[in-house]
Structure 1
Amino acid sequence: MQLLIMRHGEAGWHTLDQERELTESGRSGVAEVAARIAESPWRPKLIWSSPYVRARQTAAIVSEILNCPVEEKMFITPDDDPGECLDALIEQHESPLLIVSHMPLVGSLATLLVDAHRRGIPFMTSQAVMLDMPVVGPGCADLKAQFLP
């Protein structure tokens, strides 16, 4: 399976966490990263998005640029367990898949898949990484590429 993990774009702080919206800079950064992904050999067939507004907005921008559908997943919000996402990935058959979520989940999930622990690597806003996994499981992924705004 090929998996892209992306943190949402920069968001404002003027509302409740779940309702925070992307800034203009955030929208621009997301579009920049999506354009780089579009030029890569890892174009996703499906996007999983957190239900939070900033993640949905990020997924919508990426979806428009890459022309692929978006599904909201309730188990990829900031403090969710990366193990639950791993369980869902084992059942997933679309590849490449792009997950749009938040810190600390994106860092914990990427670290779990590459290094088999949950300490978590930092992600900048709009950053995406490409993982290649012959088998979906802890420590089974290789980091193939990074996409930065």
Structure 2
Amino acid sequence: MELLIMRHGEAGWHTLDQERELTETGRLHVAEAAAQIAESPWRPKLIWSSPFVRARETAAIVSEILNCPVEERPFLTPDDDPGQCLDALLDTDISPLMIVSHMPLVGSLATLLVDAHRNGIPFMTSQAVMLDMPVVGPGCADLKAQFLP
């Protein structure tokens, strides 16, 4: 399975966490990272997005640039257990798949898949990584590429 994991773009702080919207800079950076992904061999067939506004906005920008559909997943909010996401990955055969979510989840999930522990690596806003997993499971992924705005 090929999996892209992306952190949402920069968001403002003027409202409740779930309702935070992307800034103009955030939108620009998401588009820049998505353009890099569009030039790579790893164009996702589907995007799973957190239900939070900033992640949905990020996924919509990426979806438009990469021409792929988006589905919201309730287990992709900031403090969700990366194990829930791993379980969902085991139940899908879609590849490449992209996940758009938040810190600390994106860091914990990437670290779980690559290094088999949950001490999350940091992700900048709008950053994405490409993981290749011959088998879906902890410690089974190799980091193939990073996409930065």
TM-score grouping bracket, smaller chain normalisation:
over 0.9
Give the CA deviation at 1:143. Answer: 0.2
Provide the residue aligned with 2:119 in structure 1.
Answer: 119
Given the two structures, how large is their TM-score scaled by the length of structure 1? Answer: 1.00
1:40-90, CA deviations, whole angstroms, 9 ceiling, x for partnerless residues?
A: 000000000000000000000000000000000000100000000000000
Unaligned segments of structure 1, at least 5 residues: none
Structure 2 counterpart of 1:28: 28
SS of residue in 2 equivalent to 1:71: strand
CA distance, structure 2, for counterparts of residue 51 and residue 65 of structure 1: 20
Cα separation, 2, equivalents of 1:58 and 1:76: 14
Q: In structure 2, how many angstroms separate the alpha carbons of the residues matched to 1:47 and 1:93?
A: 13
Offset at 1:125? 0.0
Residue number in structure 1 paired with 2:146: 146
* Partner Cα distance (2:118, 2:16) in 1: 27
Q: d(CA) in 1 for partners of 2:27 and 2:130?
A: 21
Computed over aligned residues only, the root mean square deviation of the Cα atoms, in angstroms, reads 0.2
Structure-2 residue corresponding to 1:62:
62
Identity, in percent, stands at: 87
Q: How does 1:44-63 map onto structure 2 within 5 Å?
A: 44-63=44-63
Which 4+ runs in 1 deviate beyond 6 A?
none
Distance 1:38 1:95 in 2: 15
1:93, distance to aligned residue in structure 2 (A): 0.9
**Size of the alignment, in residue pairs?**
149
